[in-house]
Chain A
Amino acid sequence: MGLGSDMYRQQILDHYKSPRNYGELEDPTFTHIGENPMCGDEIRMDVRLDGQEIEQVAFSGDGCAISQAAASMLTTELPGTTVDELLEMDRDDIVDMLGVEISPMRIKCAVLAEKVAQDGAKMYRGDLDKEKTTTEDD
């Protein structure tokens, strides 16, 4: 029997147990929340911009290891990129970032933070009006 899931490699467990940038920013440019109804995962993403560049990101929330680790990793990945680059991200980018295969049933957990950040950015630009992102929308 294997030593446990391929999905739960050290990196993911590390981010889950010691999340980076956990909490809320004092002066976010935009903030958005979302949930994955199937798992009950909840994520809040705070983003501060410097012009079009992402300067700082924080997250808070509750949920499974995949959703929380993905959010934590995203907070370290995003600073230095632009809002356009954030909006261009897709699930493959998230899977690459996580560095493991994500089983089809769990992909919604993995992409929650990304979708929350993207919807937050779209709302900031006035392209979207949505109180809460949910992974059931697609």
Chain B
Amino acid sequence: MSHQQVESLDVDRIRAAYPILEREFSGSQLVYLDNAATTHTPDPVVDAMSDYYRQYNSNVHRGIHHLSQEASIAYEEAHDRVADFIGADGREEVIFTKNTTESENLLAYAWGLAELGPGDEVVLTEMEHHASLVTWQQIAHRTGADVKYIAIDDDGRLDMDHAHECITDDTAIVSVVHVSNTLGTVNPVAELADIAHDHDAYIFVDGAQAVPTRPVDVQAIDADFYAFSGHKMAGPTGIGVLYGKRHLLEAMQPYLYGGGMIEKVTFEDSTWAELPWKFEPGTPPIAEAVGLEAAVDYLEEIGMERVQAHEERLAEYAYEQLAAEDDVDIYGPEPGPDRGGLVSFNLESVHAHDLASIMNDHAVAIRAGDHCTQPLHDKLGVAASARASFYVYNTREEVDKLVDAIDSARQLFA
């Protein structure tokens, strides 16, 4: 479905649920365009968490009392809700973690350390976030496995011929970002999953920028593992998800040990609780799980197709405005079905950090830096870039303010 056909959002109504967007700095209203870093949290999500603390705060899976029962049920049901949202086959396949990074580490430690060895290959892409790049790199160092990177082409898309070359019968796992947080590229993850599976390799997909912004169905992708964070999808910080196919998670040993993840313990040995609790030791992020569930409800009420269309429209508009300027370099593919809702760029005469500081004086919040993709920036030949990223509450007028702020930076440095 092209986004032209999708009904647009009632942004005024949406914005009313985000008091933070009313903030002013030196008389200018906040223009928040740093959503790829973290999104804001709407009232229904804050309310759900506050309701938990006010009404049924308790530890889970321990108490016989009313509050513990209520908290336990809410915590467990949050897994069901998330499973349903991403097309997983039940709560057993949904592990709550701290964030995408921890999900990635859970997989790398629990599966990677046990399974990888010399001669095995881990295939990444040049656009991986440090969350997966650094993690696999270090696990490879420890296990003697090799790391390979699928190259990107000049437009910031994966070179699929190179993908076919990189993924071989020695490949143990392919780790690929679904939507690049720097280039905005939407990668063909289902195709990559097919290639991986043809070689009996697994595929892990970093969905930190995908789940917040588009419908995602892990079974349609045929991902073996998939990760994302609550705080980038209108949910709270402190909670993330690792999805894994049930039989794979069952075969994996725990990564962290302690209470809550065991079945039976003696002085000599222990056995593990069933999925997903086997991977959730200690007191979990209960309020955050309640908040994540509320965020899923919130996003589904808007409709993920509409969220995606809204973002794509704004990104396309921003791209066009910026592309019209001779002194702006934009990274990543042109607007289209394989570009998500963010635009990274550089203004030739102004360092990205200076640009972000000047924008900040206009109350325009953007990100500047390497966006946790240093090797990719090396490849692009720049130390840093500026990035504007959009969410459900952003407007075309805000894109105009971005462009105006760029213009004042240009004048200041002229």
Contact = CB atoms under 8 A, between A and B. Distances in A.
A106 B355 CA distance: 12
B409 interface: yes
Interface string A10-38: 00010011000000000000000000001
Given A8-B354, A39-B369, A64-B353, A13 B412 contact: yes
B357 A7 contact: yes
A36 B33 CA distance: 25
Contact of B354 (A6, A40, A66): A66
Contacts of A13: 412-413
B412 A64 contact: no
A103 B357 contact: yes
B323 interface: no
Contacts of B409: 4
Among B28, B369, B377, B383, the one with the most A-chain Cβ atoms within 10 Å of its Cβ is B383
A106 B361 CA distance: 14
A66 B350 CA distance: 11
A112 interface: no
B107 interface: no
Given A5-B358, A8-B358, A65-B351, A39 B383 contact: yes
Interface string A30-69: 0000000011110000000000000000000011111000
Given A39-B384, A40-B370, A63-B383, A4 B351 contact: no
A109 interface: yes
A1 B28 CA distance: 7
Interface string B26-40: 111000000000000
Interface string B209-246: 00000000000000000000000000000000000000
B353 A106 contact: yes
A39 B361 contact: no
Interface string B346-369: 000011111001101110000001
Interface residues of A, number: 23
A2 B361 contact: yes
Interface string A107-120: 00100000000000
Interface in B359-406: 360-362, 369-370, 377, 382-384
A41 to B, nearest CB: 8
Contacts of B412: 4-5, 8, 13
Contacts of B8: none
A103 B358 CA distance: 12
B369 A64 contact: no
Contacts of A41: 383
B353 A5 contact: no
B408 interface: yes
B369 A38 contact: yes
Given A5-B361, A38-B369, A64 B354 contact: yes
B38 to A, nearest CB: 16
A108 to B, nearest CB: 10
Contacts of B362: 1-2
B152 to A, nearest CB: 20
Nearest to B363: A1
B383 A106 contact: no
Contact of A4 (B353, B358, B382): B358
Contacts of B351: 39, 63-65
Contacts of A3: 408
B383 A40 contact: yes
A113 to B, nearest CB: 15
A8 B413 CA distance: 9
A62 B354 CA distance: 13
B151 to A, nearest CB: 22
Contacts of A8: 354, 357-358, 412
A41 B353 CA distance: 10
Contacts of B28: 1
A39 B353 contact: yes
Contacts of A63: 351, 383
Nearest to B350: A65
A2 B362 CA distance: 7
Nearest to B382: A40
A16 B26 CA distance: 26
Given A1-B28, A1-B362, A64-B351, A40 B384 contact: yes
Interface of B: 26-28, 350-354, 357-358, 360-362, 369-370, 377, 382-384, 408-409, 411-413
22 contacts: A2-B361, A2-B362, A3-B408, A4-B361, A4-B411, A4-B412, A5-B358, A5-B360, A5-B412, A6-B361, A7-B357, A8-B357, A16-B413, A39-B351, A39-B353, A40-B377, A63-B383, A64-B351, A65-B413, A66-B353, A103-B357, A106-B357
Given A2-B26, A4-B409, 16 more contacts: A4-B358, A4-B412, A5-B412, A7-B357, A8-B354, A8-B357, A13-B412, A13-B413, A39-B351, A40-B384, A64-B353, A65-B413, A66-B353, A66-B354, A106-B353, A109-B353
